[in-house]
């Protein structure tokens, strides 16, 4: 029966992306501090894991190339080769090439051709040059131990005893693939297949695995390399590996520790050549004679056999207690498909709507027990909603860290010195928002590095530090996430921007513009003040796309700049695009929802302010001027004027405005439903939701309302 490796390959593709990011991060750390041994070790582990996993899955293009990379990293780890700028640059190129090879494997493309094949050959040749040898295969020879206590085997082969876990086949693993990969490490001298713990036909599960193998392998690889072959099945399987010339006592321990009959396993060892009949008999006799003697600790046996080193045993003992708690946490971590999370959120959203309907029905019929039950259910639904939301939230630091490589490559390409500073990396954001904000942030970082930061000579001439800095910051503000991309470069040329805008007919000649209005022109389609086009930016096709993508996420973008000091681009985004807490109000005969995080307070619109509303659109709020907008007029709602009106004061980006409404209904849980394409451009509306009574309520887009007030009312006042 052919085993489907689809699930295992999917897991490998997901994990390899994390490992590639770890490789890139370690290389960038190593570039700043070539003596950082932790970075070298982390780099080696990542490459080693990718090589081993791809080998087990039969992805030969990845395995073969990563094998060369691993050899260079091994020499760097042991100090035979120094981590200089040339090696780091080569390894960064190799990391990118491995990423391309993995992408090719994901598309089920076998073999290499064209540019990819040329790149593979070129990088392999450079690696071989660094290693100063044509063949980069490792040669770690297992040496026979000296005069061990008790009789020892005379075989020069490794003995591998494995019993696969019951779920091996269910997880998509093919036991035969592990044997095939072992054959790449050396010569499989003998192999015996065992069926252990086999139940009767009536109890047998055809999807369970009952396979085991006794294998003798001649190989120059060390024990760690052989163990890594079984990475995918290590947790559930029983694996024992004995090196060449092992003590007879170790074979006896192996025989007694396996589920099969000891006599049968002994015969298999003799038949496979691991032991002779005389050696086995001698080993059993020796064990019986030394039964009363104090047994050596397993760590001592491993050290004596050359399987490990005393330092490793001591370190393992010291860390054992600490690792137990860490292992428990790792065992409780699951990798969940993003589509399943989206499905869960949709179901939670429908549950919120259904719960609201039950609550309203209970209130309408006046059934007290039913109302109490509905109240308990709503509380539980809210807890489920909060838990589901937390599952979707991921830290933005992973996205920020990707830009380290971008800035590094641009600085080298343009001959600039640029540092990147990150703060607020722990700030969490909805995973869907994270995915969609990555490209806009990439444009902003590239523009900052290309156009913002000056050359080293220009910075020195201006009295600045030779090295420029790009700062990425993230934090919370009024229910939103604020992301800032700041540089200490040349800043924006306001006069040049206005001049270009006049030439293109975007503004009238002589029209007065504030700094904020002038800088907004940068986001117009095709607008660019760059004197020359580079491979990174300057074509005028980036910033308008950035603005559109951010607005599609119900966010806003603004820019501040000071000539000669730098530029700050500030992006505000909602925490989530799925479910929010809302404040429901009535406007005419229709219900509307205001995001609760933006609501500051509610005040009654006094009769005096109502009479003056026809002449001015602001009120005196405890000595402060509060501009307001009548939503009934803005949305052309019908119905009689309410005798009492209220102002809902909302805050966004540090500014406050008042929204005049007819009724206040209170807090509601709101499931955001996107509007159709026809209504997507309606000003002041970001989405809709379904209430418990089945009615549709529109969700107000507070940032757009603020922009409307600023444009229509403040401009009129000016």
Question: Quick one: residue 84, left, alpha or beta (phi over 0 = left, psi -120 to 50 = alpha)?
Answer: beta
The count of domains in the chain is 5
Query: What does the pLDDT read at residue 241?
Result: 87
Let me know whether 638 and 542 are in one domain: no
Let me know whether 28 and 106 are in one domain: yes
Taking the C-alpha atoms of residue 418 and residue 453, their distance in angstroms, rounded to an integer, is 8
Of 509, 502, 551, 554, give the one whose Cα is nearest residue 529.
502
Q: Which of 519, 541, 574 is the last residue of a domain?
A: 574
Q: At what angle do helices 248-257 and 262-272 cross, to 10 degrees?
A: 130
Let me know whether 664 and 583 are in one domain: yes
Of 302, 297, 321, give the one whose Cα is nearest residue 312.
302
Query: What does the pLDDT read at residue 717?
Result: 45
Counted residue by residue, the chain has a size of 718
Q: What's the longest Cα–Cα distance across the chain?
A: 111
**CA 278 → CA 156, 192, 313, 352, distances in Å?**
17, 21, 33, 75
Query: What does the pLDDT read at residue 422?
Result: 92
Let me know whether 112 and 212 are in one domain: no
Range of the domain at 707: 579-717
The number of beta carbons lying within 10 Å of the beta carbon of residue 423 is 14
Residue 233 lies in a domain: yes
Residue 375 lies in a domain: yes
pTM to 2 decimals?
Answer: 0.62
Query: CB within 8 A of 484, min separation 6: which ones?
Result: 471, 472, 473, 474, 568, 569, 570, 571
Alpha helices in 107-243 (DSSP H): 114-131, 175-185, 223-228
Let me know whether 219 and 171 are in one domain: yes
Place of tokens 């980069």: 136
CB 32 within 8 A of CB 92: no
**CA 152 → CA 155, 196, 535, distances in Å?**
9, 28, 66
CB 430 within 8 A of CB 575: yes
Residue 146 lies in a domain: no
Q: Which of 131, 150, 183 is the last residue of a domain?
A: 131
Q: At what angle do helices 431-447 and 397-414 cross, to 10 degrees?
A: 20
DSSP, collapsed to helix, strand or coil, labels residue 527 as coil
Taking the C-alpha atoms of residue 103 and residue 115, their distance in angstroms, rounded to an integer, is 15
pLDDT tens column, 696-716: 888 888 887 887 766 665 444
Residue 301 lies in a domain: no
CATH classification at residue 69: 1.20.120.160
Give pLDDT < 70 ranges for the chain.
1-8, 110, 132-154, 196, 256-257, 259-269, 271-335, 478-479, 528-542, 576-578, 613-615, 677-678, 680-681, 709-718
Element containing residue 517 per DSSP (H, E)? helix 515-520
Query: What does the pLDDT read at residue 530?
Result: 60
CATH classification at residue 498: 3.30.565.10
Residue 152 lies in a domain: no
Let me know whether 437 and 520 are in one domain: yes
Let me know whether 117 and 176 are in one domain: no
Let me know whether 286 and 349 are in one domain: no
Of 522, 552, 560, 532, give the one whose Cα is nearest residue 443.
522
Residue 352 lies in a domain: yes
Place of tokens 């500051």: 600
Let me know whether 569 and 424 are in one domain: yes
Let me know whether 569 and 597 are in one domain: no
Query: CB within 8 A of 237, min separation 6: which ones?
Result: 162, 163, 164, 165, 168, 230
CB 98 within 8 A of CB 50: yes
Residue 316 lies in a domain: no
pLDDT tens column, 102-123: 888 877 776 777 788 888 888 8
Q: Which of 538, 554, 574 is the last residue of a domain?
A: 574
Query: What does the pLDDT read at residue 277?
Result: 65
Let me know whether 84 and 14 are in one domain: yes
Taking the C-alpha atoms of residue 91 and residue 70, their distance in angstroms, rounded to an integer, is 10
Residue 322 lies in a domain: no
Alpha helices in 217-337 (DSSP H): 223-228, 248-257, 262-272, 277-289, 298-305, 310-331
Query: What does the pLDDT read at residue 135?
Result: 42
Query: What does the pLDDT read at residue 601?
Result: 92
Let me know whether 356 and 219 are in one domain: no
* 713 DSSP 8-state letter: I
DSSP, collapsed to helix, strand or coil, labels residue 242 as strand
Average pLDDT, the chain: 78
| Joined tokens for residue 199 | 């139940």
């Amino acid at each position: 029966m052919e085993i489907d490796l689809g699930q295992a390959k999917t897991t490998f593709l997901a994990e390899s992306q994390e490992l590639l990011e770890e490789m890139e991060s370690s290389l960038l750390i190593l570039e700043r501090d070539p003596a950082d041994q932790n970075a070298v070790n982390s780099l080696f582990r990542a490459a080693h894991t990718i090589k081993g996993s791809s080998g087990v899955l039969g992805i030969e293009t990845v395995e073969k190339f990563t094998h060369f990379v691993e050899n260079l990293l091994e020499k760097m780890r042991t100090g035979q080769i120094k981590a200089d700028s040339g090696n780091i640059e080569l390894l960064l190129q190799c990391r990118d090439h491995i990423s391309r090879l993995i992408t090719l494997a994901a598309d089920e493309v076998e073999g290499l051709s064209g540019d990819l094949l040329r790149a593979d050959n070129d990088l392999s040749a450079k690696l071989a040059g660094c290693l100063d040898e044509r063949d980069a295969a490792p040669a770690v020879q297992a040496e026979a131990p000296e005069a061990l206590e008790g009789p020892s085997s005379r075989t020069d082969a490794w003995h591998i005893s494995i019993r696969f876990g019951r779920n091996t086949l269910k997880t998509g693993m093919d036991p035969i693939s592990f044997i095939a990969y072992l054959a790449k490490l050396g010569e499989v001298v003998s192999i015996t297949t065992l069926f252990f713990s086999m139940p009767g036909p009536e109890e047998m599960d055809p999807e369970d695995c009952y396979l085991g193998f006794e294998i003798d392998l001649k190989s120059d690889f060390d024990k760690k390399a052989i163990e890594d072959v079984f990475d995918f099945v290590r947790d559930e399987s029983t694996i024992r590996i004995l090196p060449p010339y092992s003590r007879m006592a170790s074979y006896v321990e192996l025989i007694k520790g396996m589920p099969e009959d000891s006599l049968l396993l002994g015969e298999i060892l003799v038949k496979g050549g691991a032991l002779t009949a005389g050696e086995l008999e001698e080993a059993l006799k020796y064990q019986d004679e030394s039964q009363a003697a104090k047994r050596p600790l397993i760590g001592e046996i491993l050290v004596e056999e050359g399987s490990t080193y005393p330092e490793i045993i001591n370190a393992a003992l010291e860390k054992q207690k600490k690792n137990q708690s860490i292992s428990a946490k790792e065992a409780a971590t699951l990798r969940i498909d993003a589509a399943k999370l989206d499905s869960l959120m949709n179901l939670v959203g429908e549950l919120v709507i259904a719960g609201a309907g039950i609550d309203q029905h209970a209130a309408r019929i006046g059934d007290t027990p039913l109302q109490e039950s509905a109240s308990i259910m709503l509380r539980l639904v809210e807890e489920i909603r909060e838990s589901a939301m937390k599952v979707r939230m991921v830290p933005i630091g992973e996205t920020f860290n990707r830009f380290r490589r971008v800035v590094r490559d641009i600085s080298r390409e343009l001959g600039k010195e640029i540092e990147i500073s990150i703060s607020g990396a722990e700030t969490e954001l909805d995973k869907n928002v994270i995915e969609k904000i990555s490209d806009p942030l990439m444009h902003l970082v590239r523009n900052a590095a290309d156009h913002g930061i000056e050359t080293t000579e220009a910075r020195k001439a201006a009295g600045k530090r030779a090295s420029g800095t790009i700062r990425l910051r993230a934090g919370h503000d009024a229910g939103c996430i604020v992301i800032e991309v700041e540089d200490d470069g040349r800043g924006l040329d306001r006069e040049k921007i206005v001049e270009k805008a006049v030439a293109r007919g975007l503004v009238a000649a002589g029209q007065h513009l504030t700094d904020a209005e002038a800088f907004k022109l940068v986001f117009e389609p095709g607008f660019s003040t760059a004197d020359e086009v580079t491979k990174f930016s300057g074509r005028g096709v980036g910033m308008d796309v950035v603005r559109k993508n951010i607005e599609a996420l119900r966010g806003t973008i603004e820019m501040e700049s000071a000539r000669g000091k730098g530029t700050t681009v500030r992006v505000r985004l909602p925490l989530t695009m799925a479910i929010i807490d809302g404040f429901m109000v009535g406007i005419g005969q229709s219900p509307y929802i205001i995001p609760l995080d933006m609501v500051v307070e509610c005040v009654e619109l006094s009769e005096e302010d109502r009479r003056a509303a026809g002449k001015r659109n602001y009120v005196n709020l405890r000595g402060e001027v509060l501009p307001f907008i009548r939503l009934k007029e803005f949305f052309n709602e019908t119905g009689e004027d309410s005798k009492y009106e209220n102002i809902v004061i909302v805050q966004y980006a540090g500014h406050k405005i008042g929204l005049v409404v007819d009724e206040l209904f209170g807090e509601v849980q709101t499931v955001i439903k996107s509007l159709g394409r026809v209504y997507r451009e309606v000003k002041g509306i970001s989405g809709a939701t379904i209430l418990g009574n089945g009615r549709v309520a529109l969700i107000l887009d507070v940032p757009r309302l603020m922009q409307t007030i600023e444009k229509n009312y403040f401009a009129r006042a000016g």
